[in-house]
Amino acid sequence: MQKRMLGTNGLEVSALGLGCMGLSYGYGPAQERQKAISMIRQAFDKGVTFFDTAEAYGQGTNEELVGEALAPIREQVVIATKFGFKDGDSSAGFDSRPERIRAVADAALKRLRTNRIDLFYQHRTDPGVPIEDVAGTVKELIRAGKVQHFGMSEAGAQSIRRAHAVQPVTAIQSEYSMWWRGPEAEILPLCAELGIGFVPFSPLGRGFLTGKIDEQTPFSKDDFRNQLPRFAADNRKANQALVASITALAAAKHATAAQIALSWLLAQRPWIVPIPGTTRIERLQENVGAAAIELSAADLRQIDDVFARIPVQGDRYPAHLAANVGK
- Residues carrying an active site annotation: 57
* DSSP three-state, residue 297: helix
DSSP 229: G
Alpha carbon distance 7, 171 (integer Å): 6
**Eight-class DSSP state of 170:** E
Nearest to 150 by CA among 161, 162, 164: 164
| Cα(219)–Cα(226) distance, integer angstroms | 7
Going by their DSSP bridges, the two strands 11-14 and 3-6 should be labelled as antiparallel
Which residue, 152, 175, 134, is CA-closest to 80? 152
Helix (H, G, I), strand (E, B) or coil at 241: helix
- Of 38, 89, 20, the closest CA to residue 59 belongs to 89
Q: Who contacts 189 (Cβ-Cβ below 8 Å, separation ≥6)?
A: none
Report how far apart, in Å, the C-alpha atoms of 205 and of each of 51, 200, 201, 265 are.
19, 10, 9, 12
Cα-trace Rg, the chain: 19
